[in-house]
Structure 1
Amino acid sequence: MDRRPTWAPEDVDVERPSIARVYDYYLGGSHNFAVDRAFADRVLRLMPGTTTAAQANRAFLRRAVRHLCEIGIRQFIDLGSGIPTAGNVHEVAHSVDPTTKVVYVDIDPVAYAHSRAILADDPHTTVIRADLRQPAEVLADPQLREQIDFDRPVGVLLVSVLHFVSNEERPADIVAGYASATAPGSHLVISHASVEGTTEASSEALDLYKRSSANVVTRTAKEVAGLVSGLSLVDPGVVQLTQWRPESPDETTSWEEIPVLAAVARRE
């Protein structure tokens, strides 16, 4: 077992894999424990493209945030934000306008602890520990309300998180809970594990997640579109992750390597 580092709260479980810490490992980060690395390595043996998919997901996040900044959005709520790594939301947004407000939201104690330490000196960025599945509680948080003006458009980011929400937890209602609180001109950004390109190996990898801190529910493009019902999809709609406004024509389109969908939707 890893020694508990000084930054880790007592409620950090260092014996069970955490999806936030595993994702950090995929991205080449150092905020993870031996149990997370062992879990990730088992997934990578089944799906060697997982690291590529994680990096592509982060690239999509950057593209989407830049797009929203270009159309004038200056405040973001990043739900299930994970452990801060290079190219995170506030870095991208602040490269356009250093006064852009960003609120990171995560229930994972490691993600929360790291975010607080890294963002302590940034007056335009806040982190709260909350469960994204409870929109009313998240949106009522006083720290979030201090940063976000709901009379102005906001970018709500649900990147690589809704596939951890079961059908019984009604993900479309969760999305609607956030969308309905925002002003016209607000946008929701989603990336989501897909059933496209599912193989026997990827099915085994998904089974591994059932033994970690969260299960994975894959959904079709139609189902992902249904999550933003009532909003207007931004071109090119619900597409394979790397095909949402790619920066290079050389971006891989392999479903087997990157079985992830992406979409951005606008509240009219």
Structure 2
Amino acid sequence: MAFTRQQQCPMRKLILLSGLSAALLVACGGGGTAPTPPKEDNGGPGNPPPGDARAYAVTGNALYSIVLSGTGQDEKKFDLKVSAPLTDVALDGTELYGVTFSNLVRISLSDGAVSTVGALGAGDINALAADGAGNLYGASTGGQFYKINKTTGQATVVGPLGTLSSGDLAFNAAGQLYGTVRPSLFSADSLARIDPATGKATVIGGTGKTDLFALKFQGSALYALTGSGQVLTLNTATGAATVVRETGLSFTGLQ
């Protein structure tokens, strides 16, 4: 069986999940209904020092609280006992959901316990997001956009992206959906706007980076993580990336 680069190296994919925003990764609306913007939360993981902007970040099998900006220290919260590496996560209120390439899981923020919700029934989902109404959405390396049942785990196709998901999506405060995409497996990543009603992606511009696996809005600023552990900001008008700092870690998602 052939594997994609992300399947061969799942630990390199970043996942950003944040207490600063109630939803991150992928979000889309089905049936022509626009998704509810994510709930804003001015707090963050733990009790960060004043001025710190923090987010939860996940490797394939561990949960961290990392500093997006500020002077605090990155902290490992829990080792996660998962049957397969996580490819992304999304925060729905106080519930943290994650995906592997085959299942939807729920992760306890109090002790790191992981429980399987159910099989996705869709291939290679590498991006996940929750809207303000608690709906889960995902995108795949094969270029499909999904709505995911958080009771059963079943993923239902909304429509094609028209390109491939690089690894994350994020809502801004206005409910607009952004994602990282690429035309082929080994191409550089671009930033795109995604229509949640159809799943269609409109490319904004190149980021100048590859393996851009995690996205999260902090206010109007769009943060991202690369597979090599860089924290970036992305210009939402051009897609251009600016390096903020190096974490020295290798993540698969951010929230």
TM norm. shorter chain > 0.5: no
More strand by share: 2
Pick 1 or 2: higher relative contact order, CA cutoff 8 A, min separation 6. 2
TM norm structure 2: 0.28
**For the pair shown, which has the larger CA radius of gyration, 1 or 2?**
1
TM norm structure 1: 0.28
More helix by share: 1
